Chains A and B, each alone.
Chain A
Amino acid sequence: MTTTATSTGPQTGVTLYSFTNAWLNRKFELDGLLKEVARRGMGPNIEIIGFQNFREFPDVSDEFAEQFKEMMAEAGLSATSCAINSDRFLRPGAQPIDDATLVEYHKRQLRSAKKMGFSLVRYQFALPVELLPEIAPYAEELDIRMGVEVHAPMWAGHPAVQAYGEMYDKLNTPYLGWIPDFGGTASRIPESMLNAARAKGAKESLLDKLKEVWVEPGMSHEKAGRLREWALKEGHEPDHIQAASLAFFILSNHDPKSWAALVDRTIHIHGKFYGMGDDGREEAIDYETILPLFRDGGFTGTLVSEWEGHAYLPDDGFEQVEKHQAMCRRIFAGH
């Protein structure tokens, strides 16, 4: 690949998830999107969600894997991370799929990711921790690392993260690690998200209540339920409540410094963000506090910029990512 390992510090890259709007609108084919990312100098390290950009996922053919590697080589990009999914609830309202099927589902995705040249996969906490001893040896055999994504409402102090940490200690392998997603330690709800709810007609009283409930302790879906119950009683429209409730599912407000506990086993980072201000800072997530923990803690992997404003804005994300990468490089360089 074209990566030159002259720097030993953290690298910046991008996940194609940032460009979800342009992708869903069929503005680019995969090769065109890769070339656009390369042309804008956002690589070389990139992340791709298997189930977003690969038609054949979870079982990619040898033929497509070769085509993909050629596309990447031509664009001068490096396949750093492939996001895989722990889809357990395949029948709504019924029991989750059995453990053996879930383990095999992960193996299928690991094989595909390896075949396409990715050096690690992002996986999810929906995988019960006791199944890790069945999957980890397979990742070792394939020689591909696995990072579980610590995504809101999870954070370093969450019981599920602690249970994974104990299993990681027990299995003691460099093939397993963390992928922090900073949405779990947002300092506030992004103003751009609130503005999108306002544009749909949500009233200030609903958004004030949202801000109040969002910082309360408790599970996200319980808090969403609490807001919903209150809002319906107060006569707010279901549409406005759905727009406001988005905040519960993608953001939580734990301590930004709490990431310190996970730095040692962090193999990759999701630089989640929503909007870059004119002051070169992110509107909701305190990067100035978070990134030095990783920089000074010896993290040498890649932070991929992950713009999620497409959950409520029609923008294509390219300019946002450029500004976000500039901010991350500035902080990694110690400025």
Chain B
Amino acid sequence: MLPVERIIGEEGLSATPEGLRLAMRLPWYRSLPFSIVEIDSVRIDGAPVDLSDAKVEFDGAVWPLKDLGEQTNAFWFVRDSAFLHIPGQSAERGSEHEVALSMFISPPYIPGMKRANTQTQTLRVA
């Protein structure tokens, strides 16, 4: 996988009091506004995860995933991970899970371009 194709972040998967937290990287060469990012799906050990109450955290800000399209002036710095918070899910610290993430991005200066990115990785819960 090329660096520009990576969408699961180095910080991996961790358990929080509310659920699970998954690190994500932006699959592009430059920072882009969150409004052009679409999280398509997450599967854990093959099972689809309900994202209807998921939230996205970046640099101290938190938005409901369903409102991500409104974030036209919040830029995802291309070197940093953003975090997907998934409530209602649990996993034991230290256990390993196969995580599959799927994401679309539509670069805002190339009309009509929508790129699909998927990545599957076995992660140890931190």
Question: Which one of B36, B78, B108 lies within 8 Å of A52 (CB-CB)?
Answer: B78
Alpha-carbon separation in the docked complex, A20 to B38 (Å): 23
Q: How far is the CA of A89 from the CA of B110 in the complex (A)?
A: 8
Which residues in B have their C-beta under 8 angstroms from that of A26?
Answer: 10, 79
- Whether A182 is near chain B, meaning CB under 8 Å from some CB there, is no
Restricting to A71-92, which residues have a CB under 8 Å from any CB of B?
85-92
Interface SS, B side: loop
Q: How far is the CA of A124 from the CA of B30 in the complex (A)?
A: 15
Q: List the A residue with the shortest CB-CB distance to B71.
A: A90
Q: Is the CB of A159 closer than 8 A to any CB of chain B?
A: no
Name which residue of chain B comes closest to A86, CB basis.
B109
Tell me if B6 and A24 are in contact (CB < 8 A): yes
- State A313–B32 Cα separation when bound (angstroms): 22
B77 CB contacts on chain A under 8 angstroms: 55
Residues of A within 8 A of B (CB): 17, 20-21, 23-26, 49, 51-52, 55, 57-58, 85-92, 96-97, 124, 126, 221, 249, 310-314
Partner of B36, one of A21, A24, A92, A312: A92
Chain B residues with a Cβ closer than 8 Å to the other chain, count: 29
Q: How far is the CA of A23 from the CA of B28 in the complex (A)?
A: 12
Chain A CB within 8 A of B111 CB: yes
The residue from A20, A51, A55, A91 contacting B72, defined by CB atoms under 8 A apart = A91
Contact of B108 among A20, A87, A312, A314 (CB under 8 A): A87
- A306 to chain B: closest CB distance in Å? 12
Question: Does the CB pair A90–B108 fall under 8 Å?
Answer: yes
Q: How far is the CA of A126 from the CA of B79 in the complex (A)?
A: 25
Mask: chain B, 86-114; 1 = CB below 8 Å from A; 0 = not: 00000000000000000000101111111
